[in-house]
Chain A
Amino acid sequence: MTADATEIRGRVAEFLAAHDPRSTDRLEFLRARFDAGLAWVHFPAGLGGLGAARELQAVVDTAFAEAGAPDNQPQLNVIGLGMAGPTILRFGTDEQRRRYLRPLWTGEETWCQLFSEPGAGSDLAALSTRAVRDGEDWVVDGQKVWTSLAHRARWAILVARSDPDQPKHKGLSYFICDMTAPGVEVRPLRQITGEAEFNEVFLTGVRIPDSQRLGEVGQGWQVAMSTLMNERVAIGGRTPPREGGMIGEAAEAWRANPDKRTHGLHDRLLRLWVDAEATRLTSIRLRQQLAIGEPGPEGSAVKVSFAEQNQAITGFELEFQGEAGLSYDDWTFRQPDFASLTKRGAGFRYLRAKGNSIEGGTTEILRNVIAERILGLPQEIRTDKDRPWKELPR
Chain B
Amino acid sequence: MSSPDLLYSELEEDLRATVRRLLRDRCDWTAVLARCETDEPYDLALWRTLAGELGLGALLVPEELGGAGASAREVAVVAEEIGRAVAPVPFLGNVLATAALVACAEPPAELADGSRIGTVAVGLTTPPQAPFPQAVKADGSALTGAVPAVVDLEVADLVVVPAIDADGPALYLVDTSAAGVTRTPTTPLDLTRRFGTLDLDGAPGRRLAAGAEAERALRQALLTAAGMLASEQVGLAQHCLDSTVDYAKTRYQFGRQIGSFQAVKHRLADLWVGVSSGRAVARNAADALARDTEPELAVAIAQAHCSDLVVLAAEEHLQLHGGIGMTWEHPAHLYLGRAKSSQLAFGIAETHRSRIGELADLPTP
Contact = CB atoms under 8 A, between A and B. Distances in A.
A269 interface: yes
A275 B279 CA distance: 13
A301 B256 CA distance: 27
Interface residues of A, number: 46
B281 A371 contact: no
A321 to B, nearest CB: 15
Given A278-B280, A298-B276, 5 more contacts: A258-B363, A266-B357, A304-B273, A376-B245, A377-B265
A374 B245 CA distance: 11
B257 interface: yes
A282 B353 CA distance: 19
Interface of B: 3-7, 245, 248-249, 256-257, 259-260, 262, 264-266, 268-270, 272-273, 276-281, 283-284, 301, 304-305, 350, 353-354, 356-357, 360-365
B357 A270 contact: yes
A371 B6 contact: no
6 contacts: A274-B353, A277-B301, A305-B273, A371-B269, A377-B257, A377-B265
Contacts of B360: 251, 273
B268 A266 contact: no
- Tell me the dominant secondary structure on chain B's binding face: helix
Nearest to B270: A367
Contacts of B305: 274-275, 278
Contacts of A375: 245, 265, 268-269, 272
Interface in A341-394: 364, 366-368, 370-372, 374-381
A262 interface: yes
A278 B301 contact: yes
A49 B280 CA distance: 33
A375 B260 CA distance: 12
A255 B361 contact: yes
A6 to B, nearest CB: 19
Interface stretch (A37-45, A138-146, A285-293): A285-293
A99 interface: no
B301 A377 contact: no
A298 B275 CA distance: 10
B362 A269 contact: yes
A279 B273 CA distance: 10
B7 A285 contact: yes
Given A267-B353, A278-B305, A370 B269 contact: yes
B260 A378 contact: yes
A368 B365 contact: no
Contacts of B350: 267
B6 A374 contact: no
A304 B266 CA distance: 12
A353 B360 CA distance: 25
B259 A285 contact: no
A69 interface: no
